[in-house]
Structure formats: structure tokens, C-alpha cells
Amino acid sequence: MIAAHRPVQRPPDARLLVADSCGRITHAPRSQLVDFLRRGDLVIANDAATLPASLHGVHLPSGADIEVRLAGWSRGRDRGDGRFAPDIHLFTAVAFGAGDFHTRTEDRALPPPLAPGDRVAFGSAADVDRTQVAGHHEGALVATIEALLDHPRLVRVRFGGSARHVWAGLARYGRPIQYAHVNTPLATWDVWTPIASLPAAFEPPSAGFALDWRSIGLMREREIGFATITLAAGISSTGDPALDQRLPFDEPYRVPATTAAAISRARAEGRRIIAVGTTVVRGLEHAAALDGVVHPGEGIADQRIGPGSRLRIVDALLSGTHEPGGSHYQILRAFFGDLALAGVDAALDALGYRTHEFGDSVLIERIPGAGADSQREDCIAPAA
């Protein structure tokens, strides 16, 4: 596969690989996505808007440059009932030394040595200088390292000032998290899907880039349902293999009552549930973990989904293309056995599909009982 390097959400030449539950593969323009859905399907997308979660600033104790990438909402306001209210002041974050997205994440320098109580200032040079002298929060956005989380890059940070000040500081000084495969700076509108709502995600729920209001309208015309959840999609890479093994971090989500009711009706009538993105799979399957029913309300998706997982809700997945080894790819293994998934990978490679968030897409229907070698006995041999 080829890395997509242009920040265009819906390029006219975007492609779609469709793999059905027999492992049969079809190639089509992604603009024909709705043609591969069925009357009665229920499509669920993640409507989280993406925060400007990359902040460049100064580590005040050392004077060294630092980049802090917000990576997860802290559990600072866990209400004790399994639900979660995100706190705009408190985040899990990944820290880097001097540099920017032009350098591959895995090649970025470590941050300066960090310790609890250290302060980091983000803002203009003048704002940061005033903060160093006076210690106030006016102008610059200031965060305190509250805890180190068992890795030199991973910390919990707390922003000072009012919630309004923090939101304003993120908007003024933050940028979208970006990786070296996209060679031009990203703007906020590059990472918001067409259905973006509450700012909750740290990287875009990019499977939703394939949607637009025309395709959603076409679904309605064809009696295909559409609903949303909000899940705080986390980061996809930290640049460190050991830390990447911890991904995905815990992700708060909310399932509206209307979405939960629509899922209940679809399941009762034997209709398919189509997840737009791995974040939706994670949220819905967590919401149904207790009794197989997607309940409305809030929760924290803290489970890992992979080849040993039993999917109870989602029947098919619309996703970007993912390279083997990452946490997103592990979720694909819950839909397809490894042998069938290897066929999908080979087809993607052979035709030069584009990967990463602005790349092409796959629509994969779950093989019942997917495991390492699973394949439906009633299917003919998969076609390449």
C-alpha cells in the first residue's frame, strides 16, 4: 500500500475494497459505497470532532522546546458508576523534544527530563516569557506535569486557568496531531468529518471522511438507517514500540438513546449493523459487553478487540486501510480470519491502495465465528 500524503478527505479517485463474509473481494470507486449497502442496514458513525491536540511550547524548568500531544481524557472525574465526564483541564499526553511532524514520529527526540510539578507553557514567545517571570496564566496556556505514567514520553498533565481559558488556548495554540506522511501542515477543517459534533477526539475518526451529506441522503432514499455515537478517538502512534503496545488508550463514549433504540430494532429484525470506523466497533461492543444489548448513555471503552474477540453487535465495518501490526488492524482480525485477511492485504498491495487517514477504504463483512483460519463452509472459494 501507498501512504496517502494529501489532506483531501474525499478525493474523486478514492477506492473501495469490499470483502463479503465468504471472503470474496470486489473493487469499486468509493463514491459507490451506498451501492454495497442493503435496504434495512443500519449505519453507525462516530460524530466526534477532533481537538487541536498538538501543542508546541517550552518546558519552563529547563527552557527546552517540547511538544505535547494530548492522547486521552484522564479518568479524573470518574463518577464511580462506570460513566465518565471529561475534564478539559486533565489529559493523558505524549511528550516529545524539539521538532515537528516533518520528522517521523519514531525518530523524534525524547522530551527533556520531566518530573511531577514541572510547568510547560504554550503560546507566543512574549506570553511564555511573561509566564516564566510572573507565573500567571494570562496569555500563555500553561500545563503542569501531574504524574509520570511509567514511560519517559507518557504523562498526565493539568491545565491551569478557567475552562474558557483552556478552550481558548487550545484553539489558539493547538494544531491537529500530524505524522510525516502528510507533508503539508494540517488545518482544523482537514480533520473534522462532515458530521463532526462535540470536540472529543484526539485524532480524527477518519473512516467518516468517506461520508458526505449526499451519501447520507442516498441512504435515506434507499431505506438504509443512519445514526451516530460520540467516542473520543485516541492517537494511533506514539513513536515508541513499547508504548504503542498500550494502544488504544481508554476512550470515553456516549450512545444516544435514539441510536440504542435503532440498534435494538435492527437486531430484532435481523438487519445488519454497519460500523463506520474501528472506534464505532469499540464503542458499540463495549456498550453491549454486559448483556449483549447496546445501552444508551456514557461509558469508557477500555477493552482490546482482536482475533479472539466475539463481536455481538457489529456485522460489517467500513474502515481505512491499515497495515498489519497496529491496534486498528487487530480489530479487523475480529471480522476476518487471518487467511481471508491476508487475501485482502494482498489485493490492497497489488492495486496500490492508499493507506492512513486520507487513504482509500475497505468494507468488510464479518465472517461468523471469525478466527485465525475461519471461513464459511457454505461459501465457494474466495475470488481475488
Give residues with Cβ within 8 angstroms of 63, minimum separation 6.
none
User: Which H or E element spans position 275?
Assistant: strand 273-276
Q: Where in the chain do CATH 3.40.1780.10 domains reside?
A: 2-50+183-365
In the structure grid, which three cell numbers stand for residue 329, read together? 488492524
- Distance between CA atoms of 290 and 300, rounded to whole angstroms? 13
> From first to last of its 384 residues, what are the pLDDT tens digits of the chain?
688 889 999 999 999 999 999 889 999 999 999 999 999 999 999 999 999 999 999 999 999 999 999 999 976 454 555 455 678 999 999 999 999 999 999 999 999 999 999 999 998 664 666 565 455 556 789 999 999 998 989 999 999 999 999 999 999 999 999 999 999 999 999 999 999 999 999 999 999 999 999 999 999 999 999 999 999 999 999 989 999 999 999 999 999 999 999 999 999 999 999 999 999 999 999 999 999 999 999 999 999 999 989 999 999 999 999 888 777 889 999 998 888 899 999 999 999 999 999 999 999 999 886 554 555 556 755 444
Strands 64-73 and 90-96 come out as antiparallel
3-state secondary structure at position 267: helix
Query: What pLDDT shows up at residue 140?
Result: 87
Neighbouring-strand partners of residue 225: 42
Alpha-helical regions (H) of the chain: 125-134, 163-173, 213-221, 241-244, 257-268, 278-287, 327-332, 338-350
Tell me 288's DSSP state: T
Omega prior to 248 cis, within 30 of 0: yes
Query: What pLDDT shows up at residue 372?
Result: 46
Closest Cα partner for 276 from 310, 339, 312, 318? 318
**What's the full length of the chain, in residues?**
384
The architecture CATH gives domain 2-50+183-365: 3-Layer(aba) Sandwich (3.40)
User: How big is the chain by its Cα radius of gyration, in Å?
Assistant: 21
CA 153 from chain centre, in angstroms, equals 20
Query: What pLDDT shows up at residue 123?
Result: 84
Assign 3-state DSSP to the chain and report helix, strand, coil percentages, each to 5: 25, 25, 50
Neighbouring-strand partners of residue 276: 45, 318
What is the share, in percent, of the chain residues with pLDDT greater than 90? 79
333-357 burial: b if 16+ Cβ within 10 Å, else e = bbbbbbebbebbbebbeeeebbbbb
Query: What pLDDT shows up at residue 276?
Result: 98
Question: Residues 113, 97: contact at Cβ < 8 Å?
Answer: no
CA 372 from chain centre, in angstroms, equals 25
Residue 374: exposure state from Cβ atoms within 10 A (0-12, 13-18, ≥19): middle
Query: What pLDDT shows up at residue 364?
Result: 96
Closest Cα partner for 141 from 156, 125, 159? 159
- Distance between CA atoms of 117 and 115, rounded to whole angstroms? 6
